[in-house]
Structure 1
């Protein structure tokens, strides 16, 4: 069983609702939230970069209004 080295986001506070990230040698990025540590999202650097660019550009703002 492989152990992941999780790093907490610098934007996360000291309390709950923290985001953790783990990058593996095979170009896979894993994300998890402190409230649900057993739920892990897996993505690639390219896909995560596209998501971040879209969020920064405001292209996902309509989702918060739902």
Structure 2
């Protein structure tokens, strides 16, 4: 019978796994809220300024900049 090494580590003891769970639980933070009420501010969309030269170039290349 030949010995075949596993690609993963053997399972830890229940005490080690429980200790790992306690550490992870202590490090977890709550996820940020995605509710609109928590972020009631209006965000202004940025405006893009298209220079006259860029508009001419876009027209020459048949691009439509609205």
TM above 0.5, yes or no, is no
TM (norm. structure 1) is: 0.28
* Larger fraction in helix: 2
Higher relative contact order (CA 8 A, sep 6+): 1
Larger-gyration structure (1/2):
2
